């Protein structure tokens, strides 16, 4: 088996999930969650960001919903 097939490629394209995870990191670091900044950091276009997350408010709703779920889960333990 050649080395190229034995491991995953080092590069993969960013996904919508990457955008949500990066937005979460930015939110928790008390940074402004901005779609243009996210697009630049992920190396995708603004159009792609809008297709993935629609609006900043929709993205923050997703981030805050996940955080609330994590906090609830932790509180129930």
Asked if residue 3 has pLDDT above 80, the reply is: no
Q: For 3-21, what is the mean pLDDT? A: 78
Query: Quick one: DSSP state of residue 40?
Result: H
| 51/6 Cα distance (integer angstroms) | 34
Q: What is the pTM of this model?
A: 0.81
Nearest to 37 by CA among 23, 58, 16, 48: 23
| 4/8 Cα distance (integer angstroms) | 8
pLDDT in tens, 30-74: 999 999 999 999 999 999 999 999 999 999 999 999 999 999 999
Asked if residue 5 has pLDDT above 70, the reply is: no
């Amino acid at each position: 088996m050649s080395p190229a097939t034995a491991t995953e490629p080092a590069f993969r394209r960013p996904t919508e999930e990457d955008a949500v995870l990066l937005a979460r990191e930015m939110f928790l670091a008390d940074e402004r969650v901005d779609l243009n900044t996210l697009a630049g950091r992920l190396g995708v276009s603004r159009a792609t960001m809008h297709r993935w997350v629609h609006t900043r408010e929709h993205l923050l709703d997703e981030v805050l919903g996940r955080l609330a779920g994590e906090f609830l889960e932790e509180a129930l333990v």
